[in-house]
């Protein structure tokens, strides 16, 4: 029996440095999504706090068990009877910090969590420099989560640039893939949409990714454009840069249809890589 269709929502935010204000904004938008018919709502990466000050970050976060945003969104999921994916929260895990995503069921229970594997350590042409590894410990486990509609592959932001992760999730049964993000404006303008469409097409999966958008009080500027893409690479819904909600109907049967039409997951073959020998220079015989 085919899984039923459902309405997915991406919650676009512009999180600041006040955790409780961010909590209240996220809860209000999840409630709005539910009132508009969503069965599943996803918030962006760093839902609870965006701060470029490491000391400020460490002062305002705590362990998962005491996180006020996680507690509030669990209650919102239970109140509205929908699944909620928190794109990510910064949480203390022993003496380290994890960039952690959570999936919450319609009863408010945490059914899965995922720690971001690929950390954003880059120097951009406009002078921006990011060193996530200076603050966060990277995860080492890809996560598939059960939903009423099929398996969800959980990833975060920079993971989007590593296609092997998405292929592995799809090969292990994911019908839906997510990359909630806080993409920079510069890289988002260049690559956000095309990477989402590519990951969807390569795996025959839906891509559902909520994003941070606009100029944050920390001075960081994020791209926004929360997006939902179908397995054929068609954009079903896309936001601009302002906070809000986008929705799209998701038909799980389309995953089976597209993967049957172009069965790249089945047709893949193992291979080895070899380097061809350097040829002799053209037009001159080799020296004796």
Q: What are the residue numbers of the active site?
A: 45, 116, 157
H-state helical runs in the chain: 19-35, 54-60, 68-80, 163-171, 185-203, 253-261, 264-267
C-alpha 144, offset from chain centre = 13
Cα 168 from Cα 172, distance rounded (Å)? 6
Structure tokens at 271: 């291979």
- Check if the beta carbon of residue 152 is closer than 8 Å to that of residue 144: yes
Residue 21: strand, helix, or coil: helix
Three-class SS state of 89: strand
CA distance linking residue 58 with residue 221, whole number of Å: 21
Q: Considering only CA atoms, give the Rg of the chain.
A: 20
The DSSP code for 160 is: G
Do the Cβ atoms of 13 and 22 come closer than 8 Å? yes
Strands (E), the chain: 6-12, 40-42, 83-93, 96-104, 110-115, 121-123, 129-131, 143-147, 150-154, 174-178, 206-209, 213-215, 221-223, 227-229, 235-238, 244-250
Helices (H) and strands (E) in the chain, counts: 7, 16
Half-sphere exposure of 161 (CA within 13 A, CB side): 14
């Amino acid at each position: 029996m085919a899984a039923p269709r459902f309405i997915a929502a991406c919650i676009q935010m512009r999180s600041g440095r006040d955790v409780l204000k961010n909590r209240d904004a996220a809860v209000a938008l999840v409630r709005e999504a539910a009132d508009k018919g969503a069965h599943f709502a996803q918030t962006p990466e760093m839902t609870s706090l965006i701060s470029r000050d490491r000391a400020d970050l460490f002062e305002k976060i705590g362990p998962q068990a005491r996180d006020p945003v996680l507690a509030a969104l669990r209650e919102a999921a239970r109140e509205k009877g929908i699944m909620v994916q928190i794109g990510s929260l910064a949480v203390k895990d022993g003496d380290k910090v994890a960039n952690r995503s959570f999936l919450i069921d319609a009863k408010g229970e945490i059914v899965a969590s995922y720690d971001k594997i690929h950390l954003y350590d880059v120097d951009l042409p406009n002078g921006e420099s990011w060193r996530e590894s200076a603050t966060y410990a990277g995860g080492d486990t890809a996560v598939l989560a059960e939903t009423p509609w099929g398996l969800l592959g959980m990833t975060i932001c920079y993971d989007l640039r590593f296609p092997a992760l998405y292929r592995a999730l799809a090969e292990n049964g994911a019908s839906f893939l997510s990359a909630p993000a806080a993409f920079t404006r510069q890289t988002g303008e260049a690559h956000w949409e095309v990477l989402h469409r590519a990951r969807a097409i390569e795996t025959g999966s839906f891509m559902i990714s909520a994003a941070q958008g606009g100029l944050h009080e920390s001075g960081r500027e994020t791209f926004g454009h929360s997006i939902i893409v179908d397995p054929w690479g068609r954009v079903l819904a896309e936001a601009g840069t302002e906070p809000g909600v986008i929705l799209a109907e998701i038909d799980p049967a389309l995953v089976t249809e597209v993967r049957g039409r172009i069965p790249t997951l089945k047709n893949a073959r193992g291979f080895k890589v070899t380097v061809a020998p350097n040829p002799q220079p053209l037009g001159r015989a080799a020296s004796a």
